[in-house]
Structure 1
Amino acid sequence: MTSSGLLPFPLTICGIDELPEHAAAGVSHVVTILDPQWPDPEHFALYPPHRRTIWRFHDIVNPQEGQSHPTMRDVEAILDYGTGLRTEVVEHLLIHCHMGISRSTATAIILMAQHNPGREAEAFAHLKAIRPFSWPNSRMVRMADDQLKRKGALVTAMRLHHHGVARRHPDKMPYLRASERAAEVPPEE
């Protein structure tokens, strides 16, 4: 958990298995992003009262039969959520998906970049500080770049982030190279 100046409240990103670790962290708002048929995590019974938003779509970047990919409507919902947070008292925002690597980190980047044009690289630096192994969903980031009229700045910052993650975590790159994310993984050095 840490605050950045990009958001006026602390932000935590995690996966489902990490949720119990944050139950006593003063979380006032939660964003849950899960696959459409995944059961709701029971861990929130441990949390004090909080405001929770749930979105359901698969963590894919290319349309696949039988899968619900993130859409522009999903990104617009994230941006609407970010606008709404500016009018609320937010003590601490927690964003989670299954593993806290892709959908949750893309959502965090979108929220950090939303009201901070020109600070895209700073948003990714903050992401690195709070979630060292992260691989934001590039489909979501590209749609946000278009929606926020960043002219590629958010996508460029994401690519630089991917390169840094690949250098720091080469052991995790074979998994990504074997997935639909292969085109996002920089060549081995």
Structure 2
Amino acid sequence: MQSISISMLTICGIEELPSHDKRLVTHVLSILDPEAPEIAAFDRYDAHERTTLRFHDIIEPRPGQILPQPEHVQDILRFGAELTESRTGRTEGHLLVHCHMGVSRSTAAMLTLMAQVRPDEDADHLFQRLREIRPQAWPNSRMVRFADEALDRGGRLTEALTRHYAHQLRAQPRFKEWMTQLGRQRELEMARD
């Protein structure tokens, strides 16, 4: 994302936010559960621009929970467009994207932003770069599908996601148990080389 004068990309969970308060974060995308309180850790950050989105980390309907919607991905893309437009006069920046654990919604959002900035970059390479930023990345499949459609990627992001899931299951077998507990069996079934 150097083309938008962002020299550092970070993905994390809420508990990790205090460890980034001295890292000169300039832009934050927060993805929170709708009922989550505001985050006090940002009070210790230097001045930064922050956008907050609120929806649950689910891939199928659940009573009382908000599924990620195409509008949420449009909000992420709007955030990315505003970041690009604000690059004038900025020589560097630090983008931090977080969700509750820094594993699913935030990694899907970062993938979306990287794909937006580099529309011709190979999808598998984008996932490789995502793993370099956040080794435990397990992007929310629903969000990736909406990003694929919004960015006219022709299914390539979704197809690469299946290979990413397979890679993650080999590298970190604990994902099988976690995703099963979270009701994300469909994503486990997607995993293939």
Give the structure-1-normalised TM-score. Answer: 0.92
Moved more, 115-124 or 137-146: 115-124
Q: Which of 105, 108, 114 pairs up with 2:107?
A: 105
Indicate the residue corresponding to 2:140 in structure 1: 137
Unaligned runs of 5+ in 2: none
Matching of residue 78 in structure 1 with residue 76 in structure 2: yes
Q: Secondary structure at the match of 1:86?
A: helix
CA distance in 1, matches of 2:17, 2:11: 9
8 A Cα contact 1:6 1:116, kept in partner: no
8 A Cα contact 1:6 1:113, kept in partner: no
Indicate the residue corresponding to 2:23 in structure 1: 25
Matching of residue 115 in structure 1 with residue 134 in structure 2: no
1:80-124 Cα offsets, whole Å, 9 max, x none, are: 111111111461110000000000000000000013223222211
CA distance in 1, matches of 2:4, 2:136: 21
1:154-180 Cα offsets, whole Å, 9 max, x none, are: 101111111111101112321212332
1:155/1:5 CA distance change after superposition, 3 Å: farther
Aligned residue identity for 1:132: P
1:130-149 Cα offsets, whole Å, 9 max, x none, are: 11011101100001101111
1:8/1:112 CA distance change after superposition, 3 Å: farther
Q: Secondary structure at the match of 1:54?
A: strand
Aligned residue identity for 2:180: R
Equivalent residue runs for 1:152-171 within 5 Å: 152-171=155-174
CA distance in 2, matches of 1:40, 1:79: 23
Which aligned segments of 4 or more residues in structure 1 are displaced greater than 6 angstroms? none
1:71/1:6 CA distance change after superposition, 3 Å: farther
Q: What is the deviation of 1:64?
A: 1.6
CA distance in 2, matches of 1:185, 1:148: 25
1:6/1:58 CA distance change after superposition, 3 Å: farther
Aligned identity (percent) is 43
Number of corresponding residues: 185
Indicate the residue corresponding to 2:184 in structure 1: 181
Indicate the residue corresponding to 1:148 in structure 2: 151
Q: What is the deviation of 1:45?
A: 1.4
1:148/1:139 CA distance change after superposition, 3 Å: same
8 A Cα contact 2:148 2:154, kept in partner: yes
Give the structure-2-normalised TM-score. Answer: 0.90
Moved more, 166-175 or 14-23: 166-175
Equivalent residue runs for 1:10-49 within 5 Å: 10-49=8-47
